A and B are shown apart, each in its own frame.
Chain A
């Protein structure tokens, strides 16, 4: 087992800089998710750790070893690809043992390793099948088995669940979490799905345009995002952002919401301009009688999920989503009041920086 340390990592494709001087410490034994929208550089970063992509500048360390210019097979890492990359002409057993076979390990030893891994991943009944004869979930397990058999110091996952249907994805998520608990090996997991990142990882790295926006535990990122990008990216449904005018200098900060009342927000820094955005999560807003609360709103759509419902509203300060009691009825077009829980307000200045937490 080993941690991964990235120092001043730069990656350029021609003139395009994809990763810009990135520094990151992935602790030994952690489950770290690299999270970001398409094109943010998360897969490139993972491929650089794997050695499949040359590093333009900077240093990659796995454990204490500098592996920046080391061959992929010599880094002690194993990777599970989005497409699984199972060799179609080989059986499950041969796929699992491919790396051992390349290394010249004896057939008997290969069998022992295959048995160990297949038992762990419940593949023992499928060893003679070919990838085409497996379901999506089984293929996924074989891909993990192939990585597992090498006893790597670090596991790398490149969006491994994105080809599975919703139900299977939840199941495999659980299996991955269990696997991490059992093995305790460092895992680096690339995803654009924040639910996957939140449920699996103990450390999330939010990337945007090749720059780390924030690193922290799922709850830290959820409760204390350091900027508007992270606040908007983490959480489903996303955080609401309301336009407001702040009275400069006061503590708590007094903000007049556009077309609504005034809210008081605890801040750690003062804005330089009065124009600010107030962020609040859907579960921290309450629907009250028209005329009451901090903001008037008109119901546009309701999503009933059974245990809860999401009410989409138009307000003078911007569109909002509110998590509401499913037993209460809010017909489309009805006027309501919105009460914001001031203990959970986030304030962002014009640059998108959060004023609510200490950076």
Chain B
């Protein structure tokens, strides 16, 4: 084969590759547009004047731009309080879940005590029970404790997180025992081992789990919806349904509320994208 023919063959092959790559890219872009369009539509609609929302035809850009819908939601509803409620309850859930799960994971992984295996099996078994199946029990329990319409009432049932315990146990299992023994020889107590060795050595997994727990807690709807009836104790996810109820179907305003509700999570996701992906992969691995 001459040099010229070889060059031609290579060029043809490259052209074919380019074509295939182009088609795949095109399809991906199309998929992204289809996926992102409702989001775009929501943002654009929230920036329209209410009267312009239901005009015939598709307006890809508003005729009249306005921030009134956002101003209304932020000033005329209790959105600020709902944000605060969401923030407090989500942060509480995150901190308590991460700390207790790490401690439980450490105990099951590293300590030898009677009933350790039984505890592990119970944990695995509890993981098989879907949380919605327990929701009536949770409601009765919280009502008995007088914790409905309170932050504690929203937080407590969300602290059941066997998946995070399992993940921590697995990570602590994989820490080479030499580290533990070296620290024991250095005079470390169990608390020092936990706080100064095992937790810092697994810092990546802690941040990943904290972010995904926070997102989960922020997005919670069913339980906060049942546990809270007082508007001043509602989370943002529940609160936005009140906007709908109070004003009837006002699409621009409803969508502005929805966007405001999801905005903190979107920012959180953008900042910690890699950690969130890592956490999703970890939990998916466990659940799979």
| Chain A interface residues (CB < 8 Å from chain B) | 50-52, 71-73, 77-79, 81-83, 85, 87-89, 98-99, 102-103, 146, 150
B185–A87 CB distance below 8 A: no
Whether B184 lies near A52 (C-beta < 8 A) is yes
> Do B182 and A102 have beta carbons less than 8 Å apart?
no
Q: Is B99 interfacial (CB-CB < 8 Å)?
A: no
B46 shortest CB reach to chain A, Å? 45
Asked if B144 is an interface residue, CB under 8 A from chain A, the answer is: no
- Contact indicator B176/A103 (Cβ below 8 Å): no
Cβ B185 vs Cβ A50 within 8 A = yes
- Determine the distance from Cα of A50 to Cα of B182 in the docked complex, in whole angstroms: 10
B63 lies within 8 A of chain A by Cβ: no
In Å, the complex CA distance between A52 and B186 comes to 12
Of all chain A residues, which has the CB nearest B189? A102
| Complex Cα spacing A85 to B185, Å | 12
Cβ–Cβ < 8 Å partners of B201 in chain A: 87-89
Q: Is B181 an interface residue (CB 8 A)?
A: yes
Give A39 to B201 CA distance when docked, in angstroms: 31
- Assuming the A-B contacts A52-B181, A83-B176, are A89 and B203 also in contact, with contact meaning beta carbons closer than 8 angstroms in the complex? yes
Contact A85 B182 (CB under 8 A): yes
Given A81-B178, A102-B192, decide whether A87 and B197 contact each other with a Cβ distance below 8 A. Answer: yes
Residues of B230-245 contacting chain A, CB below 8 A: none
For A85, the chain B residues whose CB sits under 8 A away are 176, 178-179, 181-182
Are the C-beta atoms of A103 and B187 separated by less than 8 Å? yes
Given contacts A83-B176, A102-B183, 16 further A-B contacts (CB under 8 A): A50-B181, A50-B185, A52-B181, A73-B184, A79-B181, A81-B181, A82-B178, A83-B178, A85-B182, A87-B182, A87-B197, A89-B200, A89-B203, A102-B186, A103-B187, A146-B186
Question: In the complex, which range does the number of interface residues on chain B fall in?
Answer: 10 to 19
CB distance from B192 to the nearest CB of A (A): 6
Whether, in the assembled complex, B107 has its beta carbon less than 8 Å from a beta carbon of chain A, the answer is no
Inter-chain CA distance A70–B169, complex, in Å, is: 29
State the main secondary structure of chain A at its contact with B. Answer: loop
Inter-chain contact A52/B185, CB cutoff 8 Å = yes
- Interface assignment of B188: CB less than 8 Å from any CB of chain A: yes
Inter-subunit contact B187/A102 (CB<8 Å): yes
Interface set, chain B 179-224, CB cutoff 8 A to A = 179, 181-188, 192, 196-197, 200-201, 203
Among B182, B183, B203, chain A packs the most CB atoms within 10 A around the CB of B182
- Contact A73 B187, beta carbon cutoff 8 Å: yes
Contact pick for A99, options B179, B181, B186, B197, CB 8 Å: B186
Distance, CA A102 to CA B184, complexed state (A): 10
> Smallest Cβ distance from A211 to chain B, in angstroms?
26
Contact present for B185 and A102 (CB under 8 Å): no
- Using A85-B176, A85-B178, A87-B179 as known contacts, say yes or no to A73 and B185 having CB atoms under 8 A apart: yes
Tell me whether A99 and B187 are in contact in the complex, defined as CB-CB below 8 angstroms, given that A88-B201, A89-B201, A89-B203 are known contacts: yes
Rounded to whole Å, the gap between the CB of A40 and the closest CB of chain B is: 21
Residues of A within 8 A of B197 (CB): 87
In Å, the complex CA distance between A216 and B128 comes to 62
Closest approach, in angstroms, between the C-beta of A331 and any C-beta of chain B? 51
Which residues of chain A are within 8 angstroms of B176 by Cβ–Cβ distance?
A: 83, 85
Are A78 and B187 neighbours in the complex by a CB distance under 8 Å?
no
Q: What is the distance, in angstroms, from B23's C-beta to the closest C-beta of chain A?
A: 43
- Give the distance to chain B from A186, nearest Cβ to Cβ, in Å: 16
B184 and A72 form a contact (CB under 8 A): yes
Residues on the A chain within 8 Å of B188, using CB: 73, 102
In the complex, chain A residues whose CB is within 8 Å of the CB of B203: 89
Q: Which residues of B contact A99 (CB under 8 A)?
A: 185-187
User: Known: A83-B176, A88-B201. Is A73-B186 also a contact (CB below 8 A)?
Assistant: yes
Quick check: A79 and B185 within 8 Å, CB to CB? yes
By the criterion CB–CB under 8 Å, are B179 and A98 in contact? no
Question: Which 9 pairs across A and B sit closest by C-beta, in order of nearness?
Answer: A73-B187, A99-B186, A85-B178, A85-B182, A89-B200, A72-B185, A81-B178, A83-B178, A72-B184
Pick 24 A–B contacts, CB within 8 A, sort by A: A52-B181, A71-B184, A72-B181, A72-B185, A73-B186, A73-B188, A77-B185, A79-B185, A81-B178, A85-B176, A87-B179, A87-B182, A87-B183, A88-B201, A89-B200, A89-B203, A98-B183, A99-B186, A102-B183, A102-B192, A102-B196, A103-B187, A146-B182, A150-B186
**CB-CB < 8 A to A77: which residues of B?**
185
In the complex, which residue of chain A has the Cβ closest to the Cβ of B197?
A: A87
Q: How far is the CB of B145 from chain A (nearest CB, A)?
A: 41
Q: Which residue of A lies closest to B199 (CB)?
A: A89
What is the chain A residue whose CB lies nearest that of B203?
A89
* A189 to B200 alpha-carbon distance, docked (Å): 31
What's the nearest-Cβ distance from chain B to residue A140, in Å? 14
Contact B182 A79 (CB under 8 A): yes
Inter-chain CA distance A270–B137, complex, in Å, is 87
* B196 / chain A contacts, CB cutoff of 8 Å: 102
B201: nearest residue on chain A (CB-CB)? A89
Residues on B with beta carbons closer than 8 Å to the beta carbon of A103 = 187
Question: How close is B176's CB to chain A, nearest CB, in angstroms?
Answer: 6
Residues of chain B within 8 A (CB-CB) of A79 are 181-182, 185
How far is A89 from B200 in the complex, measured between Cα atoms in Å? 7
- Nearest-neighbour CB distance to chain B for A156, whole angstroms, equals 9
Q: How far is the CA of A150 from the CA of B201 in the complex (A)?
A: 23
Given contacts A85-B178, A87-B201, A88-B201, contact A98 B185 (CB under 8 A): no
